[in-house]
Amino acid sequence: MSIPLGPIISPPGTRSFRDAGGLPADQWRALVGDETLVPTHCCFCGVQCGMYLRVREGKVFGVEPRNHDINRMRLCPKGLNAYQQVNHPDRLTAPLLRRSRTDDLRPASWEQVLDVTATEIQRIQAEHGRDAFGLLGGASLFSEKTYLVGKLARVALKTRHVDYNGRLCMVSAAGANKLSFGIDRAGNPFSDILLTDCLLIAGSNVGECFPVMTQYLWGARDRGAKLIVVDPRETSIARTADVHVALRSGTDSAFFNAVLHVVIRDGLADLDFIAAHTTGWAEVAQTVAAYPPARAAEICGIPAEQVEQVARIFATARNVMAWHARGIEHHTQGVENCLSVINLCVATGNIGKPGAGYGTITGQGNGQGGREHGQKSDMLPGGRSINDPAHRAQIAAIWGIDEAELPQAGTSMMEMVHQMSAGEIRGLVGICNNPFVSLPNHAVVKAGYDALEFHAQADFFLSETAANAHVVFPITTWAEDDGVMANAEARVVRHRKAQEPPPGVRTDTWVMCELAKRLGVGDKFAFTSSADVFEELRIASRGTVNDYFGITYDRLDETGGIAWPCPSTDHPGTPRLFEGGRTYHADGKVHLQTVEWHPPADPYDDDFAMTLTTGRTVAHFLSGNQTRRLGGLVEQTPRPWVEVHPSHGFTSGDPVRVVTRRGSAVFPALVTEAIRADTVFVPYHWPFPVAANVLTIDALDPRSKIPEYKVCACRLERAEHVVDTPAPPVPPGRTTYAASQVSRLDPLPPTSPQGRGTSER
């Protein structure tokens, strides 16, 4: 078959096309007539694929792949459907207000909702103190807006209670990185994966959660790299691995300690590197001495030979990379799990080299950047500590306030929910988060939010959480404003405005500035655009580890993204950390940390003997507020399911009740050998009553305060029927769902091992 080619263009998707640098945007424009193609990035996961939004007559109406360094034209189904959100009929286009929880939400004016919110903030703070009002941000926001969330809390509300939904994402990895390396980001760019000789993927279903990353994995495999996957499920990546360690969820650090035990026992540790570049080695070696393979085999439920096999491959490969994600981070020992992987990389000299290092794959688009500039409860802009007097003084000076006015560190997102129930937090503004679906132990979360005297929520669709609020602010999508995000490589990328927001919709920046004005500090929020905020953010991060000062919108346009730290406008950025073995601790060394395995928080007994683990599916994103409205994605994965091993006697489609100590929910069974017999899996993107988070436990890692989503004790019961999957809430004035949404009443169970129905025939 031979398709005629023009003289210049090589087809996208081919090596020659990539080598030629791709197709310039103006040639695309020529191909599509009167369309404008706006270069931007996907709004979803931490890979941040480049894409063009197709715009005609001022409206986004389609997507075109873009040959950006990160994704080289590739897009996953979420990326291909993302543009459908922008002009979706479910968009909120008017502020909503109700006076009490028994009223219905009704359209109101912007003046009304802003005035009510400011009045309620002042009333609650006057009656109960400044810390009685909290803010919760999101890691899907542009970095400029996350900066504003932190500043609004500290300067306008003067409350210590601010946190964000990145707390549910990768804070365990962040904590471990900071402890070991003094910097909170992945050590290597994705492109280093192509240079590695051995790839360890721990607790990451890359094929479903970060599909575009698989091009790097397969690229490494084409060069002969070995692949080790540690996961209780045989995912699409595990299926092709050289070694798939199907350990029991919640036992990761025992496994990695045992691997390091074998590395040391067999004389495979890089002692020269350890001596020159680390502290704490003796303690680590002593700790892992108590983890022989036989002990790990017993704890993890795997053959001891696998420990030996992984140690041999890991320690004898020339360059090794380890990437991990929520599978090892969502635990009460999430920080320890990440530290145990770091210990292994460092002990074998695998950091700071092309093809050698570690990384954590951020789940949310701005999971990395979202915590760098001050919306995390214990951090100020530039990754500064809110407990450090020098850091406080620096930021107070930039913000033009007295250091004494800056609140102290607050509590984490889940802890704030408990404080709501206890009456310590009585009012809340939430921006771009949906805790009713995303937080563990749903009953506790609902009780916390229901106890609030006042709750305002900002979103562009009516999420389950927004539907419960007193005030809803309709805000812009990612395609209606400018801004930056930092992807999983800590590469800062530029998002562009592709269309004007619908009438009645405002940017989050505008909303926060208007609130600040009503709270009497409008002079400190005199921003009219994201660019204004970014200029202040650059200055606020100057001189820190998270240095953005050298990054400008113009430079991002020219380069396609710059990895921080980037201290000056002529600095190229820092895609790879620790070259020469030097870290960001004052002594330049890796501070190795000892790790002791301990059992998960929810104990097993005769009633609850099995392990429940939760996670994502490829068609949906986080709480599903965005993706459960897009027809193609709903059709691809219309409902949750429970993945069970054949040994339990169920047939695919059988209604199965999963029971934990917090509640129960019924799902159709998906019977497959691709999961451990003692483990079941439920994806978490749906709301009550089919929410996985009805079942999960709200136990937290003591350091990172991340919830233990990935393991709790459960049992299975045969149920009468499958519960229908609820549709997302509908805004006032509409009585039907979007025509693009497929029926949720289809009783058919999922038909594939991944729970995805076979596509349309």
Partner 1 sequence: MGRTLFIDPGRCIGCQACVAGCRECDSHRGKSMIHLDYLEEGISAASMPTVCMHCEDPVAPCAQVCPAEAILVTPDGVVHDADKSRCIGCGNCVSACPMGVPKIDLAAKLQFKCNLCYDRTSAGLAPMCATVCPTGALFYGTMDELLADRPNVAVANTFDFDGTIVTTGVAVIVPRDRGDLPVPGGCGHEQPNVLGEPL
Is residue 36 near partner 1 by the rule CB under 8 A? no
SS3 340: helix
Give SS3 for 531: helix
Do the bridges between strand 384-385 and strand 379-380 make them parallel or antiparallel, or are there none, so unpaired? antiparallel
Considering only 11-19, 36-44, 324-332, 497-505, which stretch makes contact with partner 1 by CB under 8 A? 11-19
Whole-number minimum distance, CB 424 to partner 1, in Å?
A: 44
Q: Which is nearer to partner 1, 279 or 751 (CB)?
A: 751
Instruction: Please count the residues of this chain forming the interface with partner 1, following the rule CB under 8 A.
Output: 61
User: What b/e string do you get for 422-432 counting C-beta neighbours within 10 Å, with b at 16 or more?
Assistant: eebbbbbbbbb
Distance CA 383, CA 388 (A): 11
Could you tell me which stretch among 13-21, 104-112, 196-204, 489-497 binds partner 1 (CB under 8 A)?
A: 13-21
Looking at 674, 691, 711, 712, which residue binds partner 1 (CB under 8 A)? 674
CB–CB of 681/720 below 8 Å?
Answer: no
Which of these segments, 109-117, 203-211, 246-254, 310-318, binds partner 1 (CB under 8 A)?
203-211
Give the DSSP letter of residue 744: S
Task: For residue 40, state whether it binds partner 1 (rule: CB under 8 A).
Answer: no
CA separation for the pair 137, 32 (Å, rounded): 39
Please return the burial class of 448, using the count of CB atoms within 10 Å of its CB with bins 0-12, 13-18 and 19+: buried
Closer to partner 1 by CB, 65 or 250: give it.
Answer: 65
Question: In terms of CB distance, is 293 or 753 closer to partner 1?
Answer: 753
Rg (the chain; Cα; Å): 25
The rounded distance, in Å, linking the Cα atoms of 88 and 69 is 30
Name which of 396 and 669 has its Cβ closer to partner 1. 669
* Between 14 and 528, CB nearer to partner 1: 14
652 makes contact with partner 1 (CB under 8 A): yes
CB 70, CB 487: distance < 8 Å = yes
Residue 759 half-sphere exposure toward CB, CA atoms < 13 A = 4
Burial (CB count <10 Å: 0-12, 13-18, 19+), residue 553:
middle
Chain center to CA of 322 = 18
Q: Using the rule CB under 8 A, is 603 a contact of partner 1? A: no
Q: Quote the least distance from Cβ 76 to partner 1, whole Å.
A: 5
Range in contact with partner 1 (rule: CB under 8 A) among 493-501, 653-661, 685-693, 748-756: 748-756
Q: Does 21 bind partner 1 (CB under 8 A)?
A: no
Residue closer to partner 1 by CB (options 106, 239) is 239
Per-residue x/- track, 341-380, partner 1 (CB under 8 A): ----------------------------------------
Q: Is 530 in the site for partner 1 (CB under 8 A)?
A: no
12 binds partner 1 (CB under 8 A): yes
Applying CB under 8 A, which of residues 45, 53, 60, 63 lies at the interface with partner 1? 63
Q: How far is the CB of 375 from partner 1 (least distance, A)?
A: 31
User: Contact between 14 and partner 1 (CB under 8 A)?
Assistant: yes
Dihedral over alpha carbons 132, 136, 142, 148 (to 10 degrees) = 0
Binding part of the chain for partner 1, among 204-212, 534-542, 588-596, 705-713 by CB under 8 A, reads 204-212
Q: Which long-range contacts (CB under 8 A, 24 or more apart) does 756-761 make?
A: 756/617, 756/618, 756/619, 756/636, 756/637, 757/635, 757/636, 757/637, 757/638, 759/636, 760/635
User: Does residue 75 interact with partner 1 by CB under 8 A?
Assistant: yes
Q: Nearest approach, Cβ of 218 to partner 1 (angstroms)?
A: 6
Q: Which is nearer to partner 1, 16 or 100 (CB)?
A: 16
Cite the beta strand spans of 361-437 per DSSP E: 379-380, 384-385, 427-431
Cα distances (angstroms) measured from residue 759 to each of 196, 227, 567, 637, 751: 35, 29, 49, 10, 10
Number of H helices, E strands in the chain: 23, 28
Amino acid identity, position 456: A
The answer to whether residues 79 and 44 touch, using CB atoms and an 8 Å cutoff, is: yes
120 binds partner 1 (CB under 8 A): no
**φ and ψ at residue 470, rounded to 5 degrees:** -85, -35
Measured from the CB atom, the residue of 10 and 191 that comes closer to partner 1 is: 10
**Binding flag, residue 636, partner 1 (CB under 8 A):** yes
Between 1 and 275, name the residue whose CB sits nearer to partner 1: 1
Q: Which stretch binds partner 1 (CB under 8 A): 108-116, 232-240, 273-281, 350-358?
A: 232-240
The residue among 524 and 756 lying less far from partner 1, judged by its C-beta, is 756
Q: Is 239 in the site for partner 1 (CB under 8 A)?
A: yes
Q: Which residues lie closer than 8 Å to 558 by C-beta, 6 or more apart?
A: none
Give which of 213, 487, 244, 197 is closest to 350, Cα–Cα.
197
Per CB under 8 A, the segment of 235-243, 410-418, 486-494, 655-663 that binds partner 1 is: 235-243
Stretch that binds partner 1, among 10-18, 384-392, 453-461, 520-528 (CB under 8 A): 10-18
Write down the least CB distance from residue 681 to partner 1, Å.
12
* 529 CB-near residues (< 8 Å, 6+ apart): 482, 509
Taking contact as CB under 8 A, which single stretch among the options 37-45, 214-222, 269-277, 682-690 is the one that binds partner 1? 214-222
> Interface with partner 1 by CB under 8 A: which range of 61-69, 139-147, 401-409, 505-513?
61-69
Q: Which stretch binds partner 1 (CB under 8 A): 196-204, 228-236, 404-412, 709-717?
A: 228-236
Which among 588, 169, 158 is positioned nearest to 408, based on CA atoms?
158
Please state the closest distance from residue 742 (CB atom) to partner 1, in A.
Answer: 13
Burial 497-516 (b: 16+ CB within 10 A, else e): bbbebbeebbbbbbbbbbbb
Q: Which one of 78-86, 253-261, 530-538, 601-609 is the stretch in contact with partner 1 (CB under 8 A)? A: 78-86
Interatomic CA distance for residues 122 and 458, integer angstroms: 19
Query: Which residue from 80, 199, 229, 590 is in contact with partner 1, where contact means CB under 8 A?
Result: 80
Of residues 143 and 614, the one with the C-beta less far from partner 1: 614
Q: What is the separation of C-alpha 337 from the centre of its chain, rounded to a whole number of angstroms?
A: 18
Q: How far is CA 462 from the centre of its chain?
A: 21
Question: What are phi and psi for residue 358, nearest 5 degrees?
Answer: -145, 165
Based on the shown chain and the rule CB under 8 A, indicate whether residue 149 belongs to the binding site for partner 1: no
Residue 350 · residue 581 · CB < 8 Å: no
Q: How far is the CB of 752 from partner 1 (least distance, A)?
A: 4
CB of 82 to partner 1, least distance (A): 10
CA atoms within 13 A on the CB side of 70: 32
Among 110, 218, 584, 737, binds partner 1 (CB under 8 A): 218
Q: Which of 184, 197, 234, 480 binds partner 1 (CB under 8 A)?
A: 234
CB of 745 to partner 1, least distance (A): 21
Nearer to partner 1, 4 or 267 (CB): 4
Residues that bind partner 1 (CB under 8 A): 1-6, 9-17, 31, 62-63, 65, 73-77, 79-81, 207-208, 211-215, 218, 222, 234-237, 239-240, 618-619, 632, 636, 646, 652, 671-674, 751-754, 756, 758-761
